[in-house]
Amino acid sequence: MYTKPFLKWAGGKYRVLDKILQELPTGARFVEPFAGSCAVYLNVNFPKALVCDLNSDLISLYRYVQQEGEDFIQYCASFFTSENNTRSSYIALRDRLNASFEARERAALLLYVNRHAFNGLIRYNSKGGFNVPFGKHKKPYFPLEEMRAFYRKTRSTTTEFMVADFRSVFASLKPGDVVYCDPPYMPLSQTSSFTAYAGNAFRVQDQNDLAACARHAWEKGIHVVLSNHDTETTRNLYSLATLKRFTVQRFISCDGNNREAAPELLAVYGQ
């Protein structure tokens, strides 16, 4: 039984953990340059972990759960009321998130908008404003036990949460590190692109740079595993890796009756 993340996440890895975990050997430190929902971090067993992302709100949310535990969890719960489950309240709190300069408040509001937004998406515009519309959920779920499990994980593993670009994360790697990357995916087609990353586009050059970082780390003896769509482009990009291919059912879609399976791959740079 795997530990569930407390955030909803497009492309979250909870349902394919069995495929990912079997490709991750033991090591001194687990490193995740794209934090996402932390589904993989929650279910690996390393004495140390470094979890990074460019989204400062996301990293703040994880840090406050780690540092404050139940006090912060209850603060987050205070936003989950029936009065706040309306379009007008949602827009007001979304605007409050975008206007706030207080990290703790922004972190709690990120959880609120994640659970109340359309399809649970986390998306920012080019100016850094959260812009997902209201989701019309009957009763948004507050992930109390999932947050408590996350707090326990941060206490059982020496974990550092850091706002950082993947390039700097790879530059800081040490012998004994094991790396898992879940970047914004290469689009399957010209019309299916979902590459918004912390208010910026994750471009083809970024995909190329990430693949180069993985290869260089591998050459230094560091084990790296990456997820992406299974396309001709990604197969060429990770041509030196061992490729594991499979399909994944998509659960975040505007059409709940048309959530097709998508081809994915794991690129394994290991011994």
Q: pLDDT tens, position by position, for the chain (271 residues)? A: 899 999 999 888 999 999 999 999 999 999 999 999 999 999 999 999 999 999 999 999 999 999 999 999 999 999 999 999 999 999 999 999 999 999 999 999 999 999 999 988 899 988 889 999 999 999 999 999 999 999 999 999 999 999 999 999 999 999 999 999 999 999 886 555 445 555 567 899 999 999 999 999 999 999 999 999 999 999 999 999 999 999 987 654 444 445 578 899 999 999 6
Beta sheet of 223-229, edge-to-edge order = 158-163, 48-53, 29-32, 177-181, 223-229, 261-269, 242-249
Contacts of 180 (CB under 8 A, 6+ apart): 20, 24, 30, 31, 32, 40, 224, 225, 226, 227
| CATH code at 67-144 | 1.10.1020.10
- Burial (CB < 10 A; 0-12, 13-18, 19+), residue 183, is buried
**Class in CATH terms, 14-54+164-269:** alpha beta
Contact by Cβ (8 Å): 229, 186: yes
d(CA 266, CA 226): 6
3-state helix, strand, coil in the chain (%, to 5): 40, 20, 40
Given the structure tokens 């994980």, which residue do they identify?
A: 153
DSSP at 3: P
Q: What is the DSSP letter of 78?
A: T
Q: Where are the domains of the chain?
A: 14-54+164-269, 67-144
